[in-house]
Chains A and B, each alone.
Chain A
Amino acid sequence: MSIPDFEKYNQLVLDLFEKEKFEELACLYLEWGKRLLALGKLDEGCFFLTQGYVLALEHGMEEAVEIYEILKNHERED
């Protein structure tokens, strides 16, 4: 699994923030976090997963459970 073009990704994040499409944004963060974890980038991956976690909680998304489990397994969440 490779890291996508960061510039492109970053622009997507900004667009979704601008359009207040927070559920899509949560999914994007989740995807990005997983990719980074798969590459062994623990801190970076957990950073993006956390971003996704907070938005998933806010919007009552079932993805919050999945993200929580990942973060907990890496001792990043209670």
Chain B
Amino acid sequence: MDVEADRDLELVRQAVEGAKGLPNNHYIDQATYEEEREVLLFNNWAGIGLGSDIPNPGDVSPVNFAGMPLLMVRNHEGDIQVFQNTCRHRGMKLVEKNCNLRGTIRCPYHSWSYNLDGSLRATPHVGGPGMNIDKHIVREDLGLTKINTHIWRDIVFVNVSGTAPTFREYASKLLKRWHEHEQPMYHGGPVSGFNFDVACNWKLAVENYCESYHLPWIHPGLNSYSRLEDHYHIEEPGHFSGQGTLVYRQIIGEKGEKFPDFKNLSKFWNTGAEYIVLFPNVMLATQRDHGYAIILLPQGPERTIERNEIFYSFDPETRPDLKALIEKNSVQWRGVLEEDLFVVEGMQKGRHGIFFDGGKFSPVMDSPTHVFHKWVGDKLHASRYGNT
């Protein structure tokens, strides 16, 4: 790393009053993107998809996670495991599209076949035509590469490098903060999931989500009941940041219907709601009656797929009377979240301005964003030089 890049990071890692934001190369440069891919996305617990993407035993779903081919598998016992989506023989990508497998995962090249637990089951003709064994091919050593996997709130988290602590340890502070919501959550069905293909670096989506400073300008519809002064910062350096509101109002249907609340919540949640980014790439909402997750899937330095998924306290299959309200809620959230797209794409364009220096934070209003920048800076510094 060059001296200038190190000096930039030192500025980012300062206290918010004196700090600068991450400079342009962290948003537009391929080499920096690749460094961050390893240090920020692969070395930590990142979201890649949902358990409900693979609802049935035998379902498999390939995911391109920042260029890394991964495969989510629900085995015949119903458990989810993620593997590298690459055959151990010649490196062929194993699965190209979502499907249900009744038996093994067969490589489309030479048909090496894997059980859904990743073990190598068959190596056809490996010792010559009709000879499927060879003393040099030890199947026990050639299973699919397992990726550390954890499911929380139906989100499939992975730690690609295998170097992070357990997910429950990694996310312990957030789990503690939201312990009242540690109860079943149900995806709202197809209408409750929608994607945005956004021309921005994935970190800009995080930065925008963390802070409430932009709300009066970008989401003017919220001003009528959720004023800027009703919001507060949420900051847990090294783990997550975000914002909360004290005036959350439930959505109401045409006949006055509401979503049922999660069970046994304290009074705070009557009007409280929190919007937090669990670093690196999962943006979460927790409210009395529903929540959502936005999973950021980086596609390169300047492109990100945002997966938006809404969850409820009840199984929508059991409440057909709430179908219309679920649809209304989805439309409403989609509208709000779409309002942010021009912002993150605009910031991306702005970062091609060669004189932009990373930006100046408001110590009062931008501190949750700075918590994220400092996390990035600290992780990169530790990766380059150790924890100094």
Contact = CB atoms under 8 A, between A and B. Distances in A.
A57 B125 contact: no
A5 interface: no
Contacts of A64: 103
Interface string B114-133: 00000001101100011111
Interface string B81-106: 00000000000000000000111111
Interface string A43-55: 1111111110111
A75 B139 CA distance: 16
A61 interface: yes
B113 A54 contact: yes
B166 interface: no
Contact of B130 (A50, A55, A57): A50
Contact of B103 (A49, A50, A59): A59
Interface residues of B, number: 18
A77 B133 contact: yes
Contacts of A77: 122, 132-133
Contacts of A78: 132-133, 139
Contact of B101 (A43, A49, A58): A58
B103 to A, nearest CB: 4
A58 B103 contact: yes
B111 interface: yes
Contacts of B124: 50-51, 53-54
Interface residues of A, number: 25
Contacts of B103: 56-61, 64
A76 B131 contact: yes
Contacts of A47: 125, 129-130
Contact of A54 (B102, B106, B129, B131): B106
B285 to A, nearest CB: 40
Given A60-B103, A61-B103, A64-B103, A54 B122 contact: yes
Contacts of B129: 43-44, 46-47
Contacts of B121: 57
Contacts of B122: 53-54, 57, 77
A71 interface: yes
Contacts of A55: 106
Contacts of B125: 47, 50
Given A47-B125, A50-B125, A53-B124, A76 B106 contact: no
Contact of B102 (A46, A51, A59): A59
Nearest to A46: B130
A51 to B, nearest CB: 7
A56 B121 CA distance: 12
B102 A71 contact: no
A60 B129 CA distance: 23
A46 B131 contact: yes
A51 B102 CA distance: 18
B387 to A, nearest CB: 47
Q: List the 8 closest pairs (A to B, CB-CB), nearest first.
A: A46-B130, A60-B102, A60-B103, A47-B130, A58-B106, A57-B104, A47-B129, A50-B124
16 contacts: A42-B130, A43-B130, A50-B125, A53-B122, A53-B124, A53-B132, A54-B111, A57-B104, A57-B106, A58-B104, A58-B106, A58-B113, A76-B132, A76-B133, A77-B132, A78-B133
